[in-house]
Amino acid sequence: MNSIPPSPDTRHLTPDEIELWAEGLLPAARDVHIGECAVCRATAERERKLFRDLGQLTRFAPEFGFVERVMARVKIPAPSGPHLRPDADA
Ligand SMILES: [Zn+2]
């Protein structure tokens, strides 16, 4: 008789679990799934690459104030609510 695992966890990994995997924190029970599921493995590899890229971005982060300077140049129109004008003539 074949021994069937009690309850194989065959669900695809959630985005949260993939993030855990990328951080090396995914429980072994779910880690098995990545080994067996091409879909999740592809997603996980992509996530891990993203993590690595982010890590490099952090390492080569521009000097402090870069974001502020960029944002100062980018004019963001102040949000004007459509219904926030009490003096609008009807
Ligand atoms: Zn899967």
Tokens of 76: 């963001």
Q: 13 C-alpha to center of ligand 1: Å?
A: 6
Q: 4 C-alpha to center of ligand 1: Å?
A: 19
Structural contact between residues 33 and 40, judged by C-beta atoms closer than 8 angstroms: yes
Prediction pTM value: 0.51
Q: Which of 79, 70, 13 shows the shortest CA–CA distance to 47?
A: 13
Q: 60 C-alpha to center of ligand 1: Å?
A: 34
Q: 14 C-alpha to center of ligand 1: Å?
A: 9
Q: 25 C-alpha to center of ligand 1: Å?
A: 17
For 11-63, how does the pLDDT look when each residue is reduced to its tens digit (9 = 90+)? 899 999 998 998 889 999 899 999 999 999 999 999 888 888 887 776 666 66
Domain regions of the chain by residue span: 7-58
Exposed, middle or buried by CB within 10 Å (0-12, 13-18, 19+), for 78?
Answer: exposed
